Structure 1
Amino acid sequence: MASNLLVVTKGHPFDHNAFHALFDANADIVTTFVEQPAAQVILRPENVGRYDAVLFYDMLGIPMDPNDLASAQPSADYASSIESLLARGVGLILLNHALVQWPLWPLWREITGSTFRLTQGEVDGRQVPGSGYRGGAGEPHRNATHRLSPLGAPHPVTRGLESGFEITDELYLRTPLARTPDIVPLMASDYAFTQANFSPPPLAPKAEQAAWAHEDGDNIIIWARRVRNSPVVASEAGDGPAAYENPGFRRLLANAIQWVTSDEARAWARNSRPAE
């Protein structure tokens, strides 16, 4: 039986035709696309029940004005909807820029597990610099060609990708992910995650950019995460057509959708909760 997938977009430019083709090519899913802010209505508990999983490819809550922090927080209604998804155990997939949205909303950072920061600040109890983007000086958005390889024990998300695959895509330089039982690294890049290969965070203040110094970063760019009752797949890969059209990435995404909607994934997520 095909899975019903809700895909949420808006807030970051992307090639709509190439992105939609990702899902058109998969006969095992029935995909509904919705843009923000209409997505906030569809994601309400009374409306979202028909969907087996939600894929986020949107980018909201970025505080362009440091004095306007209210815009960096979700409405109470939207926050309640996301809480409800987690309580029901709905599978979630987060691609590329969706990981970095809502940087001031603690729940979103909990969902993603990401250590990415738009500017310097606290992650996992320590002060870290803002995260870098792939590119040399003056070329912050030039993508890199690199190889992704699976990590650890075989996992349903990497099935059929045991030999890895090469991809041209965006990369981030950020501090390492937390090492907890609730985060399972799935795929790592062979790229060199050193400061010399990245540009400073473009939304950081100029003074911070000029003084930017970052430790070697984490090469894990695909991971599974369990949050409350929900299985999550987080992928920093997926920036543009070169990724969308990549057979390896398409297989990865199809596997991720299949896994987060499975009984196996939901059971794994539920087991993260302490016994009551």
Structure 2
Amino acid sequence: MRLLAILALALCAALSHAADRPLKTLIVTGGHGFEATPFFQIFKDNTNITFIHAEHGKGSSTAYERDDLYTYDAVVLYDMVQEITEQQKSRFKGLMDRGIGLLVMHHAIVNYQSWPEFERIIGGTYPEPQDQRGKVTEKLGWEHDVTIPVQIVAKDHPVTKGVSDFTIFDEIYWGYRTGKDSIPLITTTHPKSGKPLAWARTEGKSRVVYLQLGHGPEAFENPNFRKLVGNALEWVARK
């Protein structure tokens, strides 16, 4: 009995330590320019996160070939690439098999136009004018330097906890598609912007969030945007 009690205490201590440690996060970039210093500052300023940055190699999605890919609590996609091998697809889908969280940000919704499964996994897509499957896509576009009113839709969702309606200076997209099982988190009344601005879903054992906001320094420094990013990472990582 004493041995069982000791083992139980050790297990509780281990679980407590795991809950207290910062989220181990992999941030994936490549294929699209961005202002790196203020972007990464979002994560540096969050004491609940430790992160590693992986940039795709030219012509392929090499970040998914990392030996440590499956050791992370969450993966952040801030890339915009089309090239992905069958092996890299398998490695990416392995994240969902293991329950590793996925936060997809801004232009990463444009990834992998010729891989329909990616659209299903992240819960939407921003189709290019003619995607590589030969389909004629809906009218779409974007506009920089826009003042965007943001409204909270899912007020009881953990991703929006502590966030009220706010305004952000950022880039809007329109013409993107959203999956039927994607749960809207935030939206906007801006007449040109697509809606919603963020959504959540589950894929396999993983939780997935897409956040359309996040183009430049003005957005990166917005406290409400930062709160959404932090909340999203904790939710997808089940912390």
Query: Which TM-score applies when normalising by structure 1?
Result: 0.72
Among residues 177, 198, 201, which one is paired with 1:225 in the alignment? 201
Deviations along 1:184-208, one digit per CA (max 9) or x if unpaired, are: 1000012113xxxxxxxxxxxxxxx
Measure, in 2, the Cα distance between the counterparts of 1:99 and 1:89. 20
The CA deviation string for residues 219-253 of structure 1, in whole angstroms up to 9 with x for no partner, is 20100021222110101111111110100000000
Q: Deviations over 1:118-174 (max 9, x none)?
A: 114699xx964242112xxxxxxx32111111113510000001x211101111111
Aligned position for 2:124? 114
Counterpart position of 1:13? 33
Give the structure 2 partner of residue 173 of structure 1: 174
How many angstroms does 1:41 deviate by? 5.3
Taking the aligned partners of 1:259 and 1:101, their CA distance within structure 2 comes to 23
CA distance in 2, matches of 1:116, 1:19: 22
Q: Give the match's secondary structure for 1:171.
A: strand
Matches within 5 A, 1:103-252: 103-120=113-130, 128-134=137-143, 142-161=144-163, 163-174=164-175, 177-180=178-181, 183-193=182-192, 218-252=194-228
- CA deviation after TM superposition for structure 1 residue 79, in Å: 0.7
Name structure 1 gaps, 5 residues minimum.
62-72, 135-141, 194-216, 264-276
Does structure 2 conserve the Cα–Cα contact (< 8 Å) formed by 1:184 and 1:223?
A: yes
Q: 1:191 touches 1:219 (CA, 8 Å); kept in 2?
A: no
Identity over the aligned pairs, expressed in percent? 31
Q: Deviations over 1:29-67 (max 9, x none)?
A: 111111112995553484223210000101111xxxxxx
Superposed, which structure 2 residues align to 1:6-155 within 5 Å? 6-37=26-57, 43-44=64-65, 46-61=67-82, 73-120=83-130, 128-134=137-143, 142-155=144-157
More displaced, 218-227 or 14-23? 218-227
What's the CA shift for 1:102? Answer: 1.0
Q: After the TM superposition, which of the residue ranges 40-49 and 26-35 deviates more from structure 2?
A: 40-49
Matching of residue 259 in structure 1 with residue 232 in structure 2: no
- Letter in structure 2 aligned against 1:77: Q
* Structure 1 residues 2 and 179: alpha-carbon distance in aligned structure 2, compared to 1, 3 A threshold: same
Secondary structure at 1:43 match in 2: helix
> Do 2:199 and 2:209's aligned partners in 1 also have CA atoms closer than 8 Å?
yes
SS across alignment from 1:49: helix
Conserved? CA contact 2:114–2:132, under 8 Å: no
Task: Note the aligned Cα RMSD (angstroms).
Answer: 2.4
SS state at 2:224 partner: helix
Deviation, structure 1 residue 11: 0.8
SS of 2:27's equivalent? strand
